[in-house]
């Protein structure tokens, strides 16, 4: 099946989704398909990605219209180590408006001393928003990093805190 790339306008800027077989492979706040494809391991980049209508695009718009749960059950396909895939699954269970610190996230993964590994799981997350790595903060509440910019991370956290 052909992979689909679609960009939608959001209050945080253009958001591009790469889907294949109805599952999000990668996504983020850019209108540059190369940046989205670049989030994937080279051996996982679809060779036939074309512009089209992504099934998850409506869910992104619903999220921005206030339905924060609209993204929760969108199918996602990410490939990584067992720890990474477990971590990405765990990120999907962090409720909107209830962010964790990297230390809390590491403890949640069963490895309280593996704070760097927890941060790496967030950094390697290709399916931004659908796997809400933006909900993990530094100890003390500092934002930490975010591939799509700290302004986007702050906006997402503020949006989720008000609901």
| Full 3-state SS string of the chain | CCCEEEEEEECCEEEEEEEECCEEEEEECCCCHHHHHCCCCHHHCCCCCEECCCCCHHHHHHHHCCCHHHHCCCCECCCCCHHHHHHHHHHCCCCCCCCEEHHHHHHHCCCCCCHHHHHHHHHCCCECCCCCHHHEECCCCCCCCCCCCHHHHHHHHHHHHCC
Mean pLDDT value across residues 150-154:
96
Residue 162 has pLDDT above 80, yes or no: no
Task: Look at residue 156 in the predicted model and tell me its pLDDT.
Answer: 97
Chain segment 27-86, per-residue pLDDT in tens: 999 999 999 999 998 889 998 888 999 999 999 999 999 999 999 999 999 999 999 999
Mean pLDDT value across residues 106-125:
90
Q: Is 122 a catalytic residue?
A: no
Task: Look at residue 163 in the predicted model and tell me its pLDDT.
Answer: 59
**Between 110 and 15, where is the model more confident?**
15
Task: Look at residue 17 in the predicted model and tell me its pLDDT.
Answer: 98
For domain 82-161, the question of CATH label 1.10.357.10 is answered with: no
Task: Look at residue 139 in the predicted model and tell me its pLDDT.
Answer: 82
State the sign of the Cα–Cα–Cα–Cα dihedral 83, 102, 144, 18: positive
- The active-site residue out of 133, 147, 152, 157 is 133
In the chain, domain spans: 4-71, 82-161
Task: Look at residue 151 in the predicted model and tell me its pLDDT.
Answer: 97
């Amino acid at each position: 099946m052909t992979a689909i790339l679609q960009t939608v306008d959001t209050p945080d800027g253009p958001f591009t989704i790469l889907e294949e077989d109805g599952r999000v492979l990668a996504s983020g706040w850019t209108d540059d398909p190369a940046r989205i494809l670049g989030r994937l391991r080279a051996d996982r980049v679809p060779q036939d990605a074309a512009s089209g209508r992504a099934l998850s695009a409506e869910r992104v718009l619903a999220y921005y219209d206030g339905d924060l749960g609209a993204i929760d059950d969108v199918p996602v396909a990410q490939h990584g180590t067992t720890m990474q895939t477990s971590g990405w699954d765990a990120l999907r269970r962090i409720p909107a408006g209830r962010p964790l610190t990297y230390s809390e996230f590491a403890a949640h993964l069963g490895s309280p001393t593996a704070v760097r590994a927890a941060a790496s799981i967030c950094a390697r997350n290709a399916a931004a928003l659908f796997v809400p790595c933006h909900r993990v903060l530094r100890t003390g509440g500092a934002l930490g990093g975010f591939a799509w910019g700290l302004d986007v991370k702050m906006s997402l956290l503020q949006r989720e805190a008000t609901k």
